[in-house]
């Protein structure tokens, strides 16, 4: 008998699964029973090996998501290789840092194209398939800056604010068609993207002092939230942005 968190027989497409948050989410989904398509510009050999060691199927699907050119082909390839697509995790993302008065158009476009434009068109391509089969789960990765402004990351803040709005819009359109669209907003998680903040002694101290849990998050801390939003346990959850932040927003 399947439990509400059982993902056996499901296929999950996870972007940016080579390291950090994407890898942790892919491994958590696999541990719950899902097969994994690891999509991204950087090969995810380690992730694939760990998923296969669990007895799940895993394949790498190379794609540069800085443009939408490969998007439909990626979804088609995953469906063809695995026989379907049940879960999409839009995790791939980039960040550029500079004072807003100095921020360049190139850095603006690079972040918006990867973090928002490609996310929408991946949702669209996967959503068409999921609507056709009458079920599916889409999990977008938002941010604390979906709720807050931040500093020195204007395009990142804009993109993640957009991800929050997009998640709600798609939920409005697709919830009645069997497709749940939600998001996870990670707090301050120790990854490559936050290396500069961790290395800044003053900012690092300020961040930890504000987090009620008293520590930076670990990528694995997102695993339970991802499994919940990918599983039948969240069948009546739509358009929600689930903060996994150690209590940051509560402070």
Tens of pLDDT, residues 95-105: 999 999 999 99
Which DSSP state fits 83? S
The parent domain of residue 188 ranges over 11-244
pLDDT for 158: 98
197 versus 247: which is more confidently predicted? 247
Beta strand 58-62 with 35-40 is parallel
Distance from the Cα of residue 89 to its chain's centroid: 5
Tell me the CATH number at 67. Answer: 3.40.50.720
User: Is the model's pLDDT at 1 over the cut of 80?
Assistant: no
Residue 116: inside a domain, yes or no? Answer: yes
Tens of pLDDT, residues 28-57: 999 999 999 999 999 999 999 999 999 999
Average pLDDT over residues 110-122: 98
Catalytic residue among 82, 120, 156, 216: 156
Reduce the secondary structure of 50-69 to three states and give it as a string. Answer: HHHHCCCCEEEEECCCCCCC
Residue 61: inside a domain, yes or no? Answer: yes
Residue 91: inside a domain, yes or no? Answer: yes
Work out the percent of the chain whose per-residue pLDDT is above 70. 100
Residue 27: inside a domain, yes or no? Answer: yes
pLDDT for 154: 98
156 in active site: yes
Residue 250: inside a domain, yes or no? Answer: no
Residue 39: inside a domain, yes or no? Answer: yes
Q: How many domains, in total, are found in the chain?
A: 1
d(CA 5, CA 231): 5
User: Is the model's pLDDT at 131 over the cut of 80?
Assistant: yes
104-107 long-range Cβ contacts below 8 angstroms, 24+ apart: 107/155
Residue 103: inside a domain, yes or no? Answer: yes
Residue 94: inside a domain, yes or no? Answer: yes
């Amino acid at each position: 008998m399947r439990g509400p968190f059982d993902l056996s027989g499901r296929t999950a497409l996870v972007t940016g699964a080579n390291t950090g948050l994407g890898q942790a989410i892919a491994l958590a989904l696999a541990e719950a029973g899902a097969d994994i398509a690891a999509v991204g510009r950087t090969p995810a050999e380690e992730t694939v090996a760990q998923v296969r060691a669990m007895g799940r199927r895993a394949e790498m699907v190379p794609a540069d998501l800085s443009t939408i050119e490969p998007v439909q082909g990626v979804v088609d390839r995953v469906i063809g290789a695995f026989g379907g697509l049940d879960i999409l995790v839009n995790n791939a993302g980039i960040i550029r840092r500079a004072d807003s008065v100095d921020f360049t158009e190139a850095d603006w476009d690079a972040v918006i194209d990867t973090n928002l434009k490609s996310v929408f068109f991946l949702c669209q391509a996967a959503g068409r398939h999921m609507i056709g089969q009458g079920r599916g789960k889409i999990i977008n990765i938002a941010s604390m800056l979906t709720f807050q402004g931040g500093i020195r990351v204007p395009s990142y803040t804009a993109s993640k604010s957009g991800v929050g709005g997009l998640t709600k819009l798609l939920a409005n359109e697709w919830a009645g068609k069997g497709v749940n669209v939600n998001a996870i907003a990670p707090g301050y998680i120790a990854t490559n993207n936050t290396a500069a903040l961790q290395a800044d002694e003053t900012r690092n101290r300020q961040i930890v002092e504000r987090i009620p849990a008293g520590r930076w998050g670990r990528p694995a801390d997102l695993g339970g939230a991802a499994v919940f939003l990918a599983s039948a346990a969240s069948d009546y959850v739509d358009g929600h942005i689930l903060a996994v932040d150690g209590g940051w927003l509560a402070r």
